[in-house]
Amino acid sequence: MLTSPALLNNATDQVTGANSLSQLGEDYTNFLNLLTAQVSNQDPLEPVDASQFVTQLAQLSQVEQTVRTNTQLETLTAQISGLLNVGGTDLLGRSVSVNSDKLMLENGTASTAYELSSVAQDVTARVIDPLGRVVRTIHGLSGQSGIETPLTWDGTDDFGNPMLAGEYQILITATDDNGDAIPVNTYRDASVQEVRFKEGQLLFELTGGETVSSISVKSAS
């Protein structure tokens, strides 16, 4: 399902901008009425300082320009939101590879992939259950860098017991020859079920209930 709550928010923002301009117009009128009254009733021996009025008028002009600029930006944001939201529908129902540490165990197996920023001497994966417990530790993984290395979990714990189907977390750590940590990116394949635009971001809701930003999508098929 495609939703776009931001479009409603932007419409509200545009109404707010229009109301601000309307209020500003009233302020101009009140200011000019006040200026006319003060000039008409001023003491000829102690005339009102005209520079004060000029300063206040300049400030009102600056406020007007700011309000108009904000209104234009709100309109532009609404248009961009609509375009991005419509563009995101291209991925509805399609499989995407996203940057994620989620691991979905289904039918006794779960697949993920990882990519190292540099060559690693030691790479270890830990599977964490919903209660935060490490149920499986996998040593001796490939330390090759610059490629997406697939990793499959057979759904069993460290004692060979089958785990319940559902969502787990995969934590992969890598170190170099000096024992220093190497950054690791993990990916999973999932289907896009919903597209949303919120707070300037295009969001995808994936199978498994995970919601990710469009910038997390590495590839689609």
Question: What is the rounded radius of gyration, in angstroms, for the C-alpha atoms of the chain?
Answer: 30
Average pLDDT over residues 71-88: 51
Q: How many CA atoms lie within 13 A of 105 on its CB side?
A: 21
pLDDT on residue 88: 58
pLDDT on residue 150: 95
pLDDT digits 0-9 by tens, 14-26? 445 455 556 656 6
Q: Pick the residue with more confidence: 31 or 107?
A: 107
Q: What is the dihedral sign for C-alpha 137, 138, 139, 142?
A: negative
Neighbours of 208 (CB within 10 A): 16
Let me know: does 14 contact 71? Beta carbons within 8 Å. Answer: yes
How many degrees, rounded to 5, is the angle at CA 186 between CA 205 and CA 101? Answer: 55
How many degrees, rounded to 5, is the angle at CA 104 between CA 100 and CA 109? Answer: 125
pTM (2 d.p.):
0.57
Question: Is the confidence at residue 47, as pLDDT, over 90?
Answer: no
In degrees and rounded to multiples of 5, residue 23 shows phi and psi of -65, -35
pLDDT on residue 82: 43
Q: Say how many Å lie between the first and final Cα of the chain, rounded.
A: 19
Q: Pick the residue with more confidence: 119 or 12?
A: 119
Instruction: Bin 93: left if φ > 0, else alpha if -120 < ψ < 50, else beta.
Output: left
Percent of the chain with pLDDT over 70: 59
48 DSSP 8-state letter: -
